Amino acid sequence: MAMARYEDVHPVDPQPRIVTRTVEKMREGALIAYPTSSGYALGCALENIEGRERMQRIRHLRDDHHYTLLCRDFAQLGQVVEVSNAVFRAVKAVTPGPYTFILPATPEVPRRLAHPKKRTVGVRITDDPLAQLLLAELGEPMLTTTLIMPGEDAPMTEGWLVKDELDHLVDIVLDTGECGVEPTTVVDLSTGTAEVLRYGSGDASSFEV
């Protein structure tokens, strides 16, 4: 497999040509590594079956792992998960922010992307400039997972290290020089009662009973 393309991206005003080129490659099946406010993440187009399998191999994920659909806004989020009024208010209060929410998937979500037993999926809205531009160009949510390597507790945070370690495993490494060090806080809202599954950079106090 070819070496990953390494792109040096402006942190506040990402270069449109890099965004366009990256999304073109994602539509062709590319798996990317990109920085977020909650560490590096892996991302690919929703219909990229092989991309999801590559994420699984890189991270040694189990079949029942909750993948995340990164959404541009609440309109996109509403297309992929069922949201009651109470859940909407709870999510809206901390969004955009470093939170991933587990919610029931709508029929729009391919069966292979949802939890095999619960039919739930993770969703997140981010205000990271690069992620927002990628989502705008893509025109749909992006399948993503935090880049936490097997045996590690924290995500990778340095673009050059990601390039060094995953050179033949991903297709593109985007580096803005700015990256958070703590993963998102994961909150399961699928039953109507909040359960914090992972404590991360988002304040979980409002979701604790």
For 53-89, how does the pLDDT look when each residue is reduced to its tens digit (9 = 90+)?
999 999 999 888 888 999 999 999 999 999 999 999 9
pTM assigned to the model: 0.94
- Measured CA to CA, the distance from residue 82 to residue 208 in angstroms comes to 22
> Domain tally for the chain?
1
- Domain residues for the domain of 109 are 5-207
Which residue stretches of the chain have pLDDT < 70? 1, 209
Over the stretch 161-177, which tens digit does the pLDDT of each residue have? Answer: 999 999 999 999 999 99
Q: What's the CA gap between 13 and 101, in Å, rounded?
A: 28
| Other residues' Cβ atoms within 10 Å of the Cβ of residue 209 | 6
| CB count in 10 Å sphere of residue 151 | 6
CATH number, residue 90: 3.90.870.10
Task: Look at residue 115 in the predicted model and tell me its pLDDT.
Answer: 87
Distance of CA 144 to CAs 31, 56, 69, Å? 10, 11, 6
Q: What is the reported pLDDT for 192?
A: 82
Question: Which pLDDT value is given to residue 208?
Answer: 85
- The pLDDT assigned to 2 comes to 80
Is residue 150 within 8 Å of 60, Cβ to Cβ? yes
* Beta strands at 172-175 and 32-36: parallel, antiparallel or unpaired: parallel
E-only strand ranges, the chain: 5-8, 32-36, 39-45, 68-71, 99-104, 120-125, 142-146, 172-175, 185-188, 195-198
Q: What does the pLDDT read at residue 1?
A: 61
Cα–Cα–Cα angle for 84, 89, 93, rounded to 5 degrees: 150
Q: What is the pLDDT of residue 66?
A: 87
